[in-house]
Structure 1
Amino acid sequence: MTTHKTVEVSVDAMLDDLRTLVETESPSRDLDALAASAKVVASVIESRLGGQAVILESEAGPHVHWRAGGDPKVLILGHHDTVFPLGTLERRPFLVADGHVTGPGVFDMLGGLVQAVHGLAALDDLSGVEILVTADEEVGSHSSRALIEERALACGAVLVLEGAAEGGGLKTGRKGCGSFRISVAGRASHAGLEPAAGINALIEASHQVLAVAALGRPEAGTTVTPTVAAAGTLDNVVPAEATVIVDVRVESAGERERIESAFAALAPHLDGARITVEGSIGRPPMPESASAELFTVARRLLPGLEGKAVGGGSDGNFTAALGVPTLDGLGAVGGGAHADHEYVVIASMTERANLVTGLVRAIQGA
């Protein structure tokens, strides 16, 4: 069993650790940057909680795993990869001003990691607590999913430190999400001399865009949104190839099955055109039932706290789908995820750290 003296959560100390994390840039898929970031994350955890954080190598970058000892009871889940490329920090440095802290990754989700660590440091008994900080959440969690699921099942409860919902609410439900890539093969020809000799991949792609967009069912919470398209080489050449990428969000397993079946059944509209469809709804829906018990505890600790179902996905989708009680959105209060105006409200940091403290204590005593 690991014990720790009760300590007062210090905003200044949290900001110091947050600066350290933010100033170690960690874009997804940049293995060198993620390796450096993992070492810094491990160092912050060890300096505040003691023990040893283990760095687990993967093809997507290193994950960080810390265990206090004792029978596992609660998994603190987060990620250290961000969507911002190297050099963003130079243009948008870590800054504390006007009650906000800004910088790449402060809200999604380095602020949440810092709050969790400091909230745990306020406990005098950390037995049963695990922390897993992954390196590939922003790009689908393909390398970390099995580990996340393994530790969630072992612990039996998961607290996800993604940023709070708008207004500071917790995320009690999430849509399942995924993407599909439609590749079109046609035949090139001269657009002026013999356009009919070609098979226009752009026109075929346009048919596919309209077909998949019609799959959306807003009344059922299902959105199907074509987001990226590419076709053609020169303005006088009938395009021989085209691609379309489609973002999909669903609220139920039934809609997930319907959408995946519909994409698999897509067929060409033009004679001679060929299409290939890749992708899936990789993150299953997170039903609000998965968070109900833990949210009730959170409301007792912080009366007036709201719960919201949101469209974005997280690693909490995986753990909830296993039937493991999962509460998400416990991280920083702020906004601007993935945007240049990303920020964290400093005045909320102590309260959210204390919420982690209370939830873990309640889970330990259950």
Structure 2
Amino acid sequence: MPATADPFDSRAILDGIRRWVEIETPTEAPEQVNRLATMVADGYRELPVSIERIAGHSGCGDHLVVRSSWGQQEPGILVLSHLDTVHPIGFIERLPFRVEGDVAFGPGIYDMKGGAYLAYHAFRQLCAGGGRSPLGVTQLYVSDEEIGSPTSRALIEAEGRKAKYVLVTEPARDGGKIVTGRKGVARFDVAIKGVPAHAGTRPEDGRSAIRELANVILTLDAMNDLKRGISVNVGVVRGGTRPNVIAEEAHAEVDLRVPTTADADDLVARILNLKSRTDGVSVKVTGELNRPPYEKGNAGAALYEHAREIAAEIGFDLVDTFTGGGSDGNFTAPHTATLDGLGVDGQGAHTHYEQMYISSIEPRARLLYRLYQTLR
């Protein structure tokens, strides 16, 4: 990082973010994710920390757990970040790192390399000159958040249960809003088995799996309740073999979003218990809630109020919001005070114009730094 008198100089921090962004890290390229994990780990080498690198598996990269040398005997602060992105290798040719005024572009710069780097930078500043925080700090960088955290969920939940507070460096929303609630996410596969027949000569002998899938889709669609924040989406369908054959098989992939645990318990059970309306046709549904709802409980509300007061001291308003997207904060919020959306402000996550606002770097880095300093 270039030498600067101001430890929170935005341009110097942006240079560090650039180096992380320029290593492309799609989840499905674990060797690339591991390249960045090595760079991140190297940045901590001279700091008072222990570094644990957990080998990746099932096609995913490694996870990093960085623990401060102090405060590990008591519940402390867990900082959650992910190093993987959705952009495929080579996307940086289409979206190279560049700066235009207050905007910096690059794959994953907003979701969420900018925020992950801020957490790292704020911790470096905490350690500068031998500084310590009242609580121990553990920073967890995972490799698979963008595909639902299948290989890191158990680690996230275990570390979250040991912590007193969880800070998630996902990007800010809608002009800098912090996230204090997220919908739970469930995914389902629907498999329907019918009876094939010739559609012209013996249609009465058949039992159409596609027709039954239509029944299932209508049943699922009726579960939508946008006023309550419940959405059920049949996003993928396939079935049949030829237009002149009564379809023997049909399949669907379903996404469910729910705001509360009670809604999750109700809707997941109802979807898993879908039945066929047609004799001779079977309906089998598999799936589960893979991210529980992140509800704003009393502890989470108190953590938000503390952060809001710090932001006011720094000089900006910190407004909270609820979002339908999931994050690793969903895994910790049910049992530990969690604050999400602490990363950079910007827009265009997962798109060809993904960007962050340079003006958000300094205040949000200072917010993380002050949270480390003041949480007790």
Normalised to the residue count of structure 2, the TM-score between the two structures is 0.89
Task: Quickly say closer, same or farther: Cα 1:117–1:214, change in 2 above 3 A.
Answer: same
Which residue type is aligned with residue 126 of structure 2? L
Segment of structure 1 superposing worse, 162-171 or 190-199? 190-199
The DSSP-based 3-state class of the residue aligned with 2:122 is: helix
Structure 1 position 99, deviation (Å): 1.5
Establish whether residue 97 from structure 1 lines up as the match of residue 100 from structure 2. yes
Aligned to 2:54: 56
In 2: Cα distance, 1:217 partner to 1:347 partner: 38
Q: How many matched pairs?
A: 357
Task: Quickly say closer, same or farther: Cα 1:302–1:138, change in 2 above 3 A.
Answer: same
Establish whether residue 20 from structure 1 lines up as the match of residue 19 from structure 2. yes
Task: Quickly say closer, same or farther: Cα 1:153–1:210, change in 2 above 3 A.
Answer: same
The DSSP-based 3-state class of the residue aligned with 1:84 is: coil
In 2: Cα distance, 1:69 partner to 1:194 partner: 75
Structure 1 position 46, deviation (Å): 4.0
In 1: Cα distance, 2:108 partner to 2:45 partner: 21
In 2: Cα distance, 1:80 partner to 1:346 partner: 20
Aligned to 1:356: 368
Structure 1 position 68, deviation (Å): 1.4
The DSSP-based 3-state class of the residue aligned with 1:168 is: coil
Aligned to 1:166: 174
C-alpha contact (below 8 Å) 1:173/1:291 kept by paired residues? no
The residue correspondences of 1:289-308 to structure 2 (distance < 5 A) are 289=297, 290-303=299-312, 304-308=317-321
In 2: Cα distance, 1:193 partner to 1:42 partner: 68
Question: What are the Cα deviations for residues 52-111 of structure 1, in whole angstroms up to 9, with x where unaligned?
Answer: 532211323211111111223111111111112222222222222232111211111111
Structure 1 position 126, deviation (Å): 4.1
Match of 1:191 among 178, 195, 199: 199
Which residue type is aligned with residue 293 of structure 1? A
In 2: Cα distance, 1:359 partner to 1:140 partner: 27
C-alpha contact (below 8 Å) 1:17/1:44 kept by paired residues? no
Structure 1 position 34, deviation (Å): 2.5
In 1: Cα distance, 2:164 partner to 2:215 partner: 47
Match of 1:87 among 90, 106, 130: 90
Match of 1:138 among 138, 141, 146: 146
In 1: Cα distance, 2:303 partner to 2:83 partner: 24
In 1: Cα distance, 2:34 partner to 2:241 partner: 38
Structure 1 position 132, deviation (Å): 0.1
In 2: Cα distance, 1:224 partner to 1:182 partner: 13
In 2: Cα distance, 1:356 partner to 1:139 partner: 26
Structure 1 position 330, deviation (Å): 0.2
Segment of structure 1 superposing worse, 57-66 or 341-350? 57-66
In 2: Cα distance, 1:110 partner to 1:185 partner: 45
In 1: Cα distance, 2:262 partner to 2:107 partner: 37
Aligned to 1:106: 109
C-alpha contact (below 8 Å) 2:50/2:69 kept by paired residues? no
Structure 1 position 320, deviation (Å): 1.0
Give the alignment's Cα RMSD to 1 decimal.
Answer: 1.9
C-alpha contact (below 8 Å) 2:26/2:85 kept by paired residues? yes
Aligned to 2:31: 32
The DSSP-based 3-state class of the residue aligned with 1:83 is: coil
Structure 1 position 235, deviation (Å): 3.3
In 2: Cα distance, 1:263 partner to 1:293 partner: 35
Match of 1:75 among 61, 73, 78: 78
Segment of structure 1 superposing worse, 232-241 or 276-285? 232-241
The DSSP-based 3-state class of the residue aligned with 2:350 is: coil
Task: Quickly say closer, same or farther: Cα 1:52–1:90, change in 2 above 3 A.
Answer: farther
The residue correspondences of 1:1-366 to structure 2 (distance < 5 A) are 8-46=7-45, 49=47, 51=49, 53-59=51-57, 60-72=60-72, 73-124=76-127, 125-126=131-132, 128-289=136-297, 290-303=299-312, 304-322=317-335, 324-363=336-375, 366=376
Aligned to 1:3: none
Which residue type is aligned with residue 106 of structure 1? I
Structure 1, gaps ≥5 residues long: 1-5
Which residue type is aligned with residue 301 of structure 2? A
C-alpha contact (below 8 Å) 1:176/1:283 kept by paired residues? yes
Segment of structure 1 superposing worse, 267-276 or 250-259? 267-276
C-alpha contact (below 8 Å) 1:227/1:244 kept by paired residues? yes
Normalised to the residue count of structure 1, the TM-score between the two structures is 0.91
Question: What are the Cα deviations for residues 291-317 of structure 1, in whole angstroms up to 9, with x where unaligned?
Answer: 211111111111221011111111111
Segment of structure 1 superposing worse, 168-177 or 228-237? 228-237
Which residue type is aligned with residue 311 of structure 2? L
In 2: Cα distance, 1:93 partner to 1:50 partner: 35
Which residue type is aligned with residue 62 of structure 2? P
Structure 2, gaps ≥5 residues long: none
Segment of structure 1 superposing worse, 285-294 or 250-259? 285-294
Question: What are the Cα deviations for residues 8-27 of structure 1, in whole angstroms up to 9, with x where unaligned?
Answer: 12323322222222222221
